[in-house]
Amino acid sequence: NAGVTQTPKFRVLKTGQSMTLLCAQDMNHEYMYWYRQDPGMGLRLIHYSVGEGTTAKGEVPDGYNVSRLKKQNFLLGLESAAPSQTSVYFCASRKQGVTTDTQYFGPGTRLTVL
Amino acid sequence: RKEVEQDPGPFNVPEGATVAFNCTYSNSASQSFFWYRQDCRKEPKLLMSVYSSGNEDGRFTAQLNRASQYISLLIRDSKLSDSATYLCVALPGGGYNKLIFGAGTRLAVHP
């Protein structure tokens, strides 16, 4: 049982390049999330999904797209990377409908855009 | 106003000290509350859930005051290994699909 995994762990991009971050969970959770965390700042929600085939915007969605084609995977795409997207990206998942159940995070992807 | 607010710290305390973190939340319909711990350059991990009656886990005690919309975390007998950022988290009512994270309080325990 691996929990939540993220690939890649590190990446360096040039401005304008594109990439996809992959998040996978093996806990059969319905909800999945993408956050970014910048130095000295808290977690900011980018996009989230409440089930396979559904996505919704969080508080900082601009410049990102997501897809949830399979329940266990949640992809985050950067179509044209900008230096402002240099950050640590965390994926998380949570079970639906249980208010006392917590959220589990992946180990993060450290992205640098030059 | 942020939905969950915390004192950013840092709190610098000696080993063995007792330290308390406070957190306020703005949504009175919030259903559940948690404290997470985040080590430097690592992912947040659940430290403990917060129950209405208050709860304790070893050296850690969490309290909830719904009337004041206030959550606290008390750490007794601080260890060097307690140095981390502590995140206060609330689950708002009505949707149950998004946790709201505070920005975190940094704790540094020194010898």
Closest residue on chain A to B88 (Cα): A42
B71 Cβ contact partners less than 8 Å away, ≥ 6 residues apart: B22, B23, B24, B25, B33, B35, B50, B62, B63, B64, B65, B88, B90
Disruptive mutation site among A23, A102, A109, A111 for chain B (greatest number of B CBs within 10 Å)? A102
Give the pLDDT band of residue B19 (cuts 50, 70, 90). Answer: very high
Average pLDDT, integer, range A48-53: 93
- pLDDT digits 0-9 by tens, B41-100: 899 999 998 988 889 999 999 999 999 999 999 999 999 999 999 999 998 766 557 888
Supply the pLDDT for residue B91. 85
The two tokens of residue A16 are 């304008």
Helices (H) and strands (E) in chain B, counts: 0, 11
Put simply, the answer to whether B42 touches A41 (Cβ < 8 Å) is: no
CA distance A7 to chain B (A): 14
Hey, how many other C-beta atoms are within 10 angstroms of the C-beta on A48? 23
Put simply, the answer to whether A50 touches B97 (Cβ < 8 Å) is: yes
Average pLDDT, integer, range B22-47: 91
Evaluate if residue A1 carries a pLDDT over 90: no
Burial class (CB within 10 angstroms; exposed 0-12, middle 13-18, buried 19+) of A28: exposed
- pLDDT digits 0-9 by tens, A27-48: 999 999 999 999 877 899 999 9
% of chain A at pLDDT higher than 90: 83
The two tokens of residue A10 are 């590190």
- pLDDT digits 0-9 by tens, B73-89: 999 999 999 999 999 99
Task: Pick the closest to residue A77 from A37, A53, A111 (CA basis).
Answer: A111
Give the pLDDT band of residue A100 (cuts 50, 70, 90). Answer: low
